[in-house]
Structures are given as structure tokens and as C-alpha cells.
Structure 1
Amino acid sequence: MKYPFLISIPHGGVDVPAEVRSRMALTDCELLWYSDPATRTLFDFGPSVEALIDTPVSRMVVDLNRPPLPLPLKDPDGIIKTRTIDGRQVYIPGKIPDLALIHRWMVQWYFPYHQRVDELIDAHPVRIAFDCHSMLPQGSQEQSDAGKERPLICLGNYGDTRGKARPGSITTCPEDWIGSLAKEFRSEFPGAGNVALNTPFSGGFISNAHYWRKGIPWIQIEINRSLYEDPSTGGKPGAGNERIPALRERIWQVLVRFWEDLPADCRKSPGDR
């Protein structure tokens, strides 16, 4: 049985093309660290979902979850990153890409990902989309929650801590939907504060833009890397990967229970209601 989900995994890639790598000041280990390690495996639900999209390219090359405006390099944590979340310079002095090169990279990697998301929604009976990420156990120095412990699971719909729309804004999925998903995650990961809504992340460009474009509900899912990385190794990416299959199954069962517990009318396509 296929579930009517679209799974988007924009930050799991680790590839850095040679023309980009030669410009970068970061080590290979640092480049891996600043990706979303193992998310392409963690959220690979394969034939069980209607659609899945990911990318092999590192977010340190082009970040697919950032808006195309303002122009790259205006934001050090934008599409083209010039500084990491803990203050490291991404590029060697004098090697920061110019706008012509940035445009070529965006045409090669950024725009095709977003076009493909729309194509998948058009071609498949998708009823909800999940933008899937991992997060560090604590906020880094250039993030709004610097030094603070993070929940095990963060779900985002651009709302407040209860999933409600903020004043003057809208959410990317109904409050009761994200609330139901949070309930299932809390059942799977019990404990005070283990599951949070819109804190520290409420959603990114992908969920916001494609909700507006297609009207399909979107929820951003952030999984704490402590759930699959071994702290005894210093949290090095890839460590503790033997945990990933079991964790993937737990996440999948949460998504299944969430969907099957929704009222039948909610699970129908708009044209079938």
C-alpha cells in the first residue's frame, strides 16, 4: 500500500563538485558535519509513499530550502552560504563565487528541485508533504537558540507553539493535523519537551512556497541527531548508523498512525469530498 505522502529531503546530500570544492575553506569532515547527515537514509520510505525527492548535492553548495531573494551573498546563511552556523568562513578569501557562477549553480541544482516538487504533486495523488531534516542537539552560536537544548522532534507549520496561525500569517497545514502528528510522536518519544511545535524551527522556504503554489498541506520534520549519532564519538557524522533502520521504522509508524487516525473526509482529495 502506498500512502499519499510526498517526502522532500533537501539537505541530505554530501556531494561537492570539484569546481566548488576548490574554492572552499572547510575541510571534508566539516562539509559533512554541516549537511543533514544520513537523512537520505533516515527518511527513505521508498515504495511506501507516492513521491520522494532528495538531492546528492550538499547544502553548502546550494541550499534548496532558502528563498531566491534577496540575491545570494546578502544573507550569509542563504542559498549560497558564506558563513556557517557557528561562524566559520565557507570560502577561501578571494574565492567567493560571483553572481554569474551562482546563477549557473542555481540553474543546475536549485530550480530543478523546486520544479520537480511541483511535478510530483501534479503527477501523484499526494495529500500531504513532509520536508524532512535533522538538527543538532543544541543551537549553534549564530542561531536564535544558541546554546539551548533542543527537543528530540520539532514539527513546523509556520504557526505558534500550538500550531495555530500567528497574527497576520497563515500556516502550511491545519492546526489539528500538526497537533495529531505531534500526539503520535509524543506517544513514540515520551517525555516532557521531547516533541515541540515550531520551536526552534517553524518551517523553511520549501514548505512555505509549495504550499502557496499547490495548496497541499506541508509539515517540516526535524529529527535531533542525538537519536542516531553516538555521543562517544563526538557526534561525528555517520557514527551510530546502526541506529538508523530502527529509527526510520519508528518515524514511519508515526506517520502511518497519524494518517490513518485522521477523519476519512480529511484523507480524501478535494475533488472527492
Structure 2
Amino acid sequence: MKAKLPIIISVPHGGEIIAPEMSNRTLLSRSDIFSDGDPLTREIYDFRNEVAYYFETTIARATVDLNRSPDDLPPLNRDGVVKSHTVTGKGIYINNHIPKRETVRLLLKKYYKPYHEGLAIKSKKPLLCGIDCHTMLDRAPTTSQLSGRKRPFICLSNRGDRHGNKAKGRRLTCPPEMLRSLGRFLQEQFPEEADDITLNDPFLGGYIVRQHSKDLPWIQIELNRNSYLSSEWYDPENLEVCHKRIAELRTRLFEAIRNFVGFNCHHSLLGKQVA
């Protein structure tokens, strides 16, 4: 039996199902849900049979966002753990009726807490690291301060600077050399995009990598959706994506991660704490 890679894979935004508790309250179409989440990440990062622990959800990000703090709520943040608007600014609920506190508590108890409790338990295991897996819009949305800015092919994050080193006022979620090594192995697998793989730009790393990196190093990866949702591979009318392209991305990403794990285990970074 082939040994599994000693890592955790987390795919928090790949779900496309509105929670049943909210299904009769939302304005969102299938296309809205597709665009608001990280479409097809449960297929792109489907390494469940190759890694020690794999976490995903079928629940749409528009219902419960697993990469937010549990107290990050509307109206203070309309893009919080339970949202009032999508990433593109569309209202989620009929008549803008944001879920009441008791409904929010139910959603968090049923969908949010089990995911994070699982990550917390597995992050205490003697593993190399966790990788929180996402995709990003090709350009920053209109709701962003950087609206319209072109984004890289891949962004890796550890809450550091653009070299992966510690930045003032922020705790690293993994050692700089670990982050940079994953970047190098991704460059090998995607040579044509090698110069378009960035560290901590435009994303520093979200709640999952911050919360669960106290006992285990964590890295966030963001893949540009243009790599599979451009006209060459994607039919927006039917929301259909070329299966061959998804398989190709999965293969290349896994090969990079496999080489990254081998390199870092060999260089004794297994279970290394972060400063």
C-alpha cells in the first residue's frame, strides 16, 4: 500500500449547495453560486487518496464561509462568515433579510464548527504542513480596493512579505524556506507561468492558515481561475469546464506538492514550528 503524504489538504470554498436552512430565502442562481465560490476546487485539489487528511465541504461559500472568523458577521462585514452579499456585490437574501442570530448560530454549529474542529485536531498530528486550497478571480472584483487589478497565475501565502519572510506585525504561518520551496516546485510544473507565481501578493493568507498554524505550518494557495475558466476550456452558459483541463491541473499541482513534501521531509522540516 502506497504511503500517503504527511499533509492536510483543506478545500473550504468548493461547495455549490445552499444550506437547506436557507434554500428558500436566497436570490442566488446556479451561476451566482458558481461565481461566488471557488468553482471545481473539489476536483482540482482532489488529493484525498494521496494525503494523510483531506477536508472539503459541499456547502456554498455564500451560505457559510469557512475561511472567516466565526464573529466576522454582517452588517459590519457583508462578506463575513455568513454573508449579505456575494464577492461581486450581489445581495444574497430576499428583501435583504440577513439571517437572524439564532439562524447564524445554527449554521455555524452545523457546517462551520465541525470543519474547524477537524482541522484543529489533525493540525496537532506529526505532519509536515497543511495546505488551504483556493482559486481566485483573474482580476480583483469591483468590491475590492484593488478593483480590476490583474492577478498572478498562482499566489502562495504565509502572512509574510513578497519573499515569504516575516513582515512587521504579522505572525508567519509557515517558515519562509518552506513557502519558497513550494513556489519552486510549482514553477517546475508550470514553466510557462513560472514568472507569474507570487508570494503573499495579492493575498496574505486567510483565517484558516492563521487559526491552525499554531501547532503546524500552514500554506494558502490561490490558483487563477483563468487557468480553467477562459474561453478555451469553459462554457459559461452551461457552466461546463473541460474535464481534461481540470485533470491536467490536478496532475501538475499534485506533482509539485509531492516533490515539495519529499524535499522538505528530507531536509527535516517535518513538524517544524513557525515563529
Report if the CA contact (8 A) 2:216-2:272 is conserved. no
What's the CA shift for 1:269? 4.4
Alignment deviations for residues 5-44 of structure 1 (CA, whole Å, 9 cap, x no partner): 1000000011113431211122221112211111011111
Tell me how far 1:263 sits from its aligned partner: 6.3
Please list every run of 5 or more consecutive structure 2 residues that lacks an aligned counterpart in the other structure. Answer: none
Superposed CA deviations along residues 44-82 of structure 1, whole A, max 9, x for unmatched, are 112211100111111110001001224444211100111
Q: Which runs of 5+ in 1 are unaligned?
A: none
Report if the CA contact (8 A) 2:14-2:58 is conserved. Answer: yes
Question: How far off its partner does 1:145 sit?
Answer: 2.6
Q: Do 1:26 and 1:90's aligned partners in 2 also have CA atoms closer than 8 Å? A: yes
Aligned length: 268
TM-score (normalizing by structure 1): 0.91
Partner residue in 1 for 2:250: 248
2:119 pairs with 104, 114, 117, which one? 117
- Runs of 4+ residues deviating >4 angstroms: 232-237
**Distance in 1 between the 2:166 and 2:93 partners?**
38
- Aligned partners of 1:78, 1:70: CA distance in 2, in Å? 5
The residue correspondences of 1:180-191 to structure 2 (distance < 5 A) are 180-190=181-191, 191=193
Shift of 1:234: 6.2
Q: CA RMSD in A?
A: 2.0
Residue 33 of structure 1: aligned partner: 35
In structure 2, the CA distance between the partners of 1:238 and 1:115, relative to structure 1 (3 Å rule), is farther
Equivalences for residues 66-81 of structure 1 within 5 A: 66-81=68-83
* Alignment partners' CA distance in 1, 2:110 and 2:51: 27
* Closer, same or farther: CA 230–164 of 1 in aligned 2, 3 Å: same
Map of 2:142 onto structure 1: 141
Q: What's the counterpart of residue 82 of structure 1? A: 84
What residue in structure 2 maps to residue 52 of structure 1?
Answer: 54
Paired residue secondary structure (2:209): helix
Q: Secondary structure at the match of 1:220?
A: strand
Q: How many Å separate the matches in 2 of 1:23 and 1:166?
A: 43
2-structure distance, mates of 1:94, 1:181: 42
Distance 1:84 1:170, change over 3 A: same
Q: Identity of counterpart residues, as a percentage?
A: 33
Q: How far apart are residue 144 of structure 1 and its match?
A: 3.1
